[in-house]
Chain A
Amino acid sequence: MTGYAARVTDAIDPYLIPALDGVAYGLLLFVAASGLVLCFGVANILNLAHGTLYAVGAYTVAALADGGWASLLLALAVGVVAGAGAGGLLAGLLAPVARRDHLTQALLTFGVALAGGALLVAAFGPDSLPVRIPAALEGTVEVAGHRYAAYRLGFIGVAMVIAVLLALAVTRTRAGMLVRAAVDDPEMVASLGVNPARIRIGVLCTAGALAGAAGVLGAPIIGPAPTTADTVLLLSLVVVVLGGLGSVRGTLLAALAVGEIQTLGVALAPTVAPFLLFAAMAAVLAVRARGLPGRGLRLRWGGTT
């Protein structure tokens, strides 16, 4: 019996570290993607500049962090404020076209993404930048007999806190209630005396702050480079679609699944890894026979129908 258990442990052992990496990667994607879900679910905007907001956070930490705790916290504060500010700017740019169709708005956000990406490259150069983290996090810790990067373990903890806070904010606070109400019936919310423009601005600022925080904290995992914005946007988008477009729990599960596919999947099945994301999409489809929910979008913790 113990021999069998040991064999099982031996079989799992080489995949433990990729699996843990997958959790870190997945939680990073969740923090990034949750901003996209908010934008899309509440304001009905496909924010193609979302990846650029992440890149703003990542470049902030690369520029500010010098290896100390204070500078990391400063970078986090600056990154969150910069992300929220960029989100507010985006809301301002979108205000004149708020009543037009989603195509116009998507084009506008893509223009902002292109121009923002070009400005970031002009400011920080075309190379990927190194990120210096506090010395205490630079080492490794012992996890089930393996050395594992301390920063990633710390990141898993912080991201879990963010995920829980976000879920509580959406389900338990007045702001979260307003946001859910605005998703369900914007006209009714407006007629009850809440300015929809203020909800839009608040949501875009929050989404920007989430992307900025993800960029600062996730820079050692997906670092600042000219391709960062595209990578983050694509992966967040896949997460949002797989997660059922609006469900917070679905988004979390999808983010973890995509994280595992990108790490454990590559370690387990390198030949089919490129198609695993497609396979995941097909699996989601098989579960939901009528495809993804297109019309009845609901922002909530649980199901989506």
Chain B
Amino acid sequence: MTGTLRRRLIQVIVVGVLAVAVAVPWLTDPYTTSLLARTLVLGLVGVSVALLTGVAGLPTLGQTGPYAAGAYAGALVGLHVSSVGVVQVLTGAAAGALFAALTVPLVVYARGVVVLMITLAIGELTVTAASRWRSVTGGTDGLAGMPAIRPVWGMGVLDSDQARYLYTLVVVSVVVAIVLMVLRSPAGLLLRASRDDEARMRASGHPVTGYLAAAFVAGGAVAGVAGSLLVTAQQYLSPADFGFDISALLLLGVVIGGATSIGGAIAGTALVIAVRDWVSGQLPGHAPLVLGGLFVLTAYLFPRGVAGSAADVAALFRSRARTRSRPGDPGPDRPSGSGPARTDPARTRSEVPG
């Protein structure tokens, strides 16, 4: 009964948010629209961060690597090969996946804080390489002058901020839908089980390293798509788009969104980017100080993110109701393959993505 109600509520919220998102170009000015397009792009990178950090249990600060690879690949295709959006998006996805596949041996054997360090090093090296490889990336001057794209063959050229925003919205929605479908499939279950109890999964004969590697490459492809969308949304690329601060903001957004929730990742990233832009408009020059305070506050107030804390409260109520009716029942919301004693609260929660 409450499950159906909850699902209805989520459906209503999703439809409402999508309706507002589609209507935005007619409600605001072109500048805000282009800002929102860029926010959507970063939200999609946030989805790839949440996929790795929350679902697969590989906390990453380096998704800017495949993001940059996808962006530069998309921009180069746009400059020299094709102005068709689908081609650029697929090139971006391929470049991001390839980047992730090349770096996956560095990451996949490590866990926890080591992953954070290795991914951060990879992301930063990518930015350094991008700013020095002038012949391809334009160095710190950046790449500009990509021709306007047409989404598919035969369609008109996207020459307004509104059109580019709607194109970004469509691609982001499609990719997020694919990610959600995969996470609801047995593949998502295997991934969450590997995160929750790796030893047990290995004992059952599951190639956990292979699952994690596949998730890492998939996350790279998602970030690569976001990179190719950035080219469209921003029409300009520079290494500053892939800096360390972007990685940290993405991680903050994903943590605020609850780390395991895909929708929460987009909402959290959007919130963080909005706060950054608003603060730098209101208090020019003091944005880092305020943002730094926001990071510290988030660490204290929402150790598992707003969505995670909300889920905690909900789970508390549910478990109380259950204890009254059937004491000792572990309940359906625990993964059946989980071990009895798990100490890290951020990794013990079972969740439905979305």
What is the interface size of chain A, counting residues whose CB is below 8 A from a CB of the partner? 50
B296 and A115 contact, CB distance less than 8 A? yes
Complex Cα spacing A292 to B117, Å? 11
Question: Contact mask A105-145 → B, CB, 8 Å, 1/0?
Answer: 11110111111111100100000000000000000000000
A93 contacts partner chain B, Cβ-Cβ < 8 Å: yes
Of A97, A230, A274, which is within 8 A of B129 by CB? A274
Within 8 Å CB of A104, what residues of B? 255, 299, 303, 346
Chain B binding surface, main DSSP class: helix
Of B61, B118, B291, B299, which is within 8 A of A241 by CB? B118
Contact of A241 with B117 at beta-carbon distance under 8 Å, contacts A117-B288, A274-B128 already known: yes
Pick out which of these stretches binds chain B: A5-13, A68-76, A199-207, A232-240.
Answer: A232-240
Of A110, A118, A233, which is within 8 A of B286 by CB? A118
Within 8 Å CB of A105, what residues of B? 299
Question: Contact mask B318-351 → A, CB, 8 Å, 1/0?
Answer: 0000000000000000000000000011110000
Of B110, B124, B125, B252, which is within 8 A of A107 by CB? B252
Within 8 Å CB of B53, what residues of A? 103
B137 and chain A: residue at smallest CB distance: A274
Complex Cα spacing A278 to B251, Å? 24
A103 and B259 contact, CB distance less than 8 A? yes
Within 8 Å CB of A281, what residues of B? 106, 121-122, 125
B255 and A294 contact, CB distance less than 8 A? no
Contact of A108 with B112 at beta-carbon distance under 8 Å, contacts A114-B288, A118-B288, A274-B128 already known: no
A65 contacts partner chain B, Cβ-Cβ < 8 Å: no
Complex Cα spacing A164 to B125, Å? 30
Within 8 Å CB of B109, what residues of A? 290-292, 294
A55 contacts partner chain B, Cβ-Cβ < 8 Å: no
Complex Cα spacing A213 to B245, Å? 26
Complex Cα spacing A117 to B297, Å? 17
B residues 192-223 near A (Cβ < 8 Å) are none
Min CB–CB distance A206 → chain B (angstroms): 19
Complex Cα spacing A52 to B198, Å? 36
Min CB–CB distance A285 → chain B (angstroms): 6
A275 and chain B: residue at smallest CB distance: B129
B302 and chain A: residue at smallest CB distance: A104
B120 contacts partner chain A, Cβ-Cβ < 8 Å: yes
Within 8 Å CB of B132, what residues of A? 273-274
A237 and B255 contact, CB distance less than 8 A? no
B59 and A277 contact, CB distance less than 8 A? no
Min CB–CB distance A257 → chain B (angstroms): 14
A285 and B105 contact, CB distance less than 8 A? yes
Min CB–CB distance A186 → chain B (angstroms): 13
B121 and A46 contact, CB distance less than 8 A? no
A245 contacts partner chain B, Cβ-Cβ < 8 Å: yes
B residues 6-65 near A (Cβ < 8 Å) are 53, 59, 61
A115 and B292 contact, CB distance less than 8 A? yes
Within 8 Å CB of B236, what residues of A? none
A46 and B128 contact, CB distance less than 8 A? no
Of A40, A93, A119, A234, which is within 8 A of B296 by CB? A93
Residues of B within 8 A of A (CB): 53, 59, 61, 105-118, 120-122, 124-125, 128-129, 132-133, 244-245, 248, 251-252, 255, 259, 286, 288-289, 291-300, 303, 344-347
Residues of A within 8 A of B (CB): 40, 44-46, 48, 93, 96-97, 100-108, 110-119, 122, 230, 233-234, 237-238, 240-241, 245, 273-275, 277-278, 281, 285, 290-295, 297
Q: A100-B303, A234-B121 are in contact. List 10 more A-B contacts (CB 8 A).
A: A104-B299, A104-B303, A107-B251, A114-B291, A122-B289, A237-B121, A237-B124, A292-B110, A295-B110, A295-B111
24 residue pairs from A and B, CB less than 8 Å apart: A40-B117, A96-B300, A101-B347, A102-B112, A104-B303, A104-B346, A106-B61, A107-B255, A108-B300, A112-B295, A113-B292, A114-B289, A115-B296, A118-B289, A118-B292, A240-B117, A274-B132, A275-B133, A277-B128, A281-B125, A285-B105, A291-B106, A291-B108, A294-B110
